């Protein structure tokens, strides 16, 4: 399972609103004589972990050690929830409140059709013991469903920060000041709009996210955007837009829990924020293809990541692993870089020629910030995620990665490709940026010509006439 974090070596503490999802499955063969409703003949009952407990389940299936804290009632449903969680390998610390029932979502189904849902719940009022973070935890997830368990969330975040643990929050409501000091918030786009309002464009959205990060003393905000994928906003960094990997959507139920769980598990295992988000995006792409609240196994995630990294934007650490494996197998790795703002015939010809020099072609793409620095404030025309998606669709290209530095020297030092290729009017390879890095470890540098009469600048100028 190439490239996955070592989930089994970490423990994640999940604190939040735990629920029991209860399903009554039966057959409806007639209408009741008492009222115009179907009569369901009971077949079987199924109990599933819901809310924060589903986050814990997702972590357990990934292989993490998991501690689950929350509030339940002193009732049969609470005991069932606790037993089911322990059966799935989760270390539970569920506090029973005799004054309130366990939160239960009862769904009555006839065949595959849901006829009704009955909710059993009364709002909880928090509990001071929830701020006691397990001493062996590597990360904390706060799963807020606005049911009252996290009424004292500020003290929980404070305890986690004192223990120097990353805190991932799945927020609810519009008062996000209560989450101040957390590491990362993971709202969906609707939740974000309810708090920040409708942005005029992507730049205004990024600016609003930066203000929120500073006001709440966060490290990052990850907004999940359905078919548009995810957008990661980090303190003082350019946004990273991650395209969705869902091939077919069967059911989005529980996808947010899967995202939060994968993020927290990856951060606990030492992954960077960007790498953890890309991993979570892959997990979401798997889980939405399943029916019902689902989880993702390490094998499924590894297969999704293998597919993702062979064609779509790659994380540097994983790309290093892939390059090393190619070279170990005797394959020649070719590297080139550029803005590729508007892909045209000249680019395609150049990339095909570059690919012919080896077995694998890596294309490094300038970030939006660096394109603006190089080309001026009106560029790029297309955001980095769009430019990378188009490049990844070319048969000649194996991997695409974004870089935000002025030159690709750091990437060259990390990846150590066999061949560095540049296109242009260079008189000598010594003029190519990064040539000294490649030649020092024994690599080659090649300069390719350009297709005359076609360039991005010319295309833009023609379109503006």
Class (C level, CATH) for 7-309? alpha beta
The reply to whether 257 belongs to the active site is: yes
Identified catalytic residue from 97, 257, 315, 385: 257
Q: Per-domain residue ranges for the chain?
A: 7-309, 317-464
Q: Give, for all 465 residues of the chain, the pLDDT tens digit.
A: 346 888 999 999 999 999 999 999 999 989 999 999 999 999 989 999 999 999 999 999 999 999 999 999 999 999 999 999 999 999 999 999 999 999 999 999 998 888 999 999 999 999 999 999 999 999 999 999 999 999 999 999 999 999 999 999 999 999 999 999 999 999 999 999 999 888 888 889 999 999 999 999 999 999 998 877 889 999 988 888 887 765 555 445 568 899 999 999 999 999 889 889 988 988 888 887 765 557 888 888 887 776 655 555 557 877 887 888 788 888 899 999 998 988 888 889 899 999 999 999 999 999 999 888 888 887 888 888 888 888 988 889 989 999 988 899 999 999 999 999 998 777 788 889 999 999 999 999 999 876 655 565 566 566 665
pLDDT of residue 2: 45
pLDDT of residue 341: 84
pLDDT of residue 248: 52
> From the CB of residue 26, how many other CB atoms can be counted at a distance below 10 Å?
18
Class (C level, CATH) for 317-464? alpha beta
pTM, two decimals, is 0.70
pLDDT of residue 286: 86
């Amino acid at each position: 399972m190439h490239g996955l974090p070592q989930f089994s070596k970490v423990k994640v503490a999940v604190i939040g609103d735990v629920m029991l999802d209860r399903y009554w499955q039966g057959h409806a063969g007639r209408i009741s004589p008492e009222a115009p409703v179907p009569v369901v003949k009971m077949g079987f009952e199924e109990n599933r972990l819901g809310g924060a407990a589903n986050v814990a389940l997702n972590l357990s299936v990934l292989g993490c050690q998991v501690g689950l804290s929350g509030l339940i009632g002193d009732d049969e449903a609470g005991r069932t929830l606790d037993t089911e969680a322990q059966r799935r390998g989760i270390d539970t610390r569920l506090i029973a409140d005799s004054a309130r029932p366990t939160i239960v979502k009862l769904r009555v189904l006839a065949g595959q059709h849901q006829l009704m849902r009955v909710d059993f719940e009364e709002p909880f009022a928090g509990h001071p013991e929830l701020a006691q973070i397990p001493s062996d935890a590597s990360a904390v997830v706060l799963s807020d469903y606005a049911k009252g368990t996290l009424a004292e969330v500020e003290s929980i975040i404070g305890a986690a920060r004192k223990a120097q643990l990353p805190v991932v929050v799945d927020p609810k409501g519009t008062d996000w000041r209560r989450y101040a000091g957390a590491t990362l918030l993971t709202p969906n786009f609707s939740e974000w709009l309810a708090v920040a309002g409708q942005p005029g464009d992507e730049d205004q959205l990024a600016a609003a996210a930066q203000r929120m990060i500073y006001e709440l003393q966060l490290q990052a905000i990850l907004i999940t955007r359905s078919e548009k994928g995810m957008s990661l906003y980090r303190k003082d960094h350019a946004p990273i837009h991650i395209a969705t990997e869902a091939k077919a959507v069967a059911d989005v139920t529980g996808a947010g829990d899967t995202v939060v769980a994968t993020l927290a598990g990856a951060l606990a295992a030492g992954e960077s924020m960007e790498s953890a988000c890309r991993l979570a995006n892959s997990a979401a792409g798997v889980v939405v293809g399943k029916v019902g609240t689902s989880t993702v196994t390490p094998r499924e995630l590894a297969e999704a990541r293998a597919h993702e990294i062979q064609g779509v934007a790659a994380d540097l650490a994983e790309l290093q692993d892939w390059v090393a494996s190619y070279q170990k197998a005797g394959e020649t790795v070719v590297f080139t870089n550029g803005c590729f703002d508007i892909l045209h015939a000249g680019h395609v010809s150049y990339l095909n020629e570059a690919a012919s020099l080896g077995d694998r072609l890596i294309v490094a793409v300038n970030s939006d910030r660096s394109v603006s620095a190089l080309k001026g404030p009106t560029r790029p025309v297309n955001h980095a995620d769009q430019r990378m998606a188009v490049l990844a669709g070319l048969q000649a290209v194996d991997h695409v990665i974004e870089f935000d530095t002025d030159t690709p020297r750091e990437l060259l030092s990390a990846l150590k490709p066999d061949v560095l290729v540049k296109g242009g009017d260079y008189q000598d390879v010594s003029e190519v940026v990064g040539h000294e890095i490649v030649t020092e470890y024994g690599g080659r540098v090649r300069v390719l010509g350009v297709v005359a009469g076609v360039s991005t600048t010319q295309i833009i100028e023609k379109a503006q006439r």
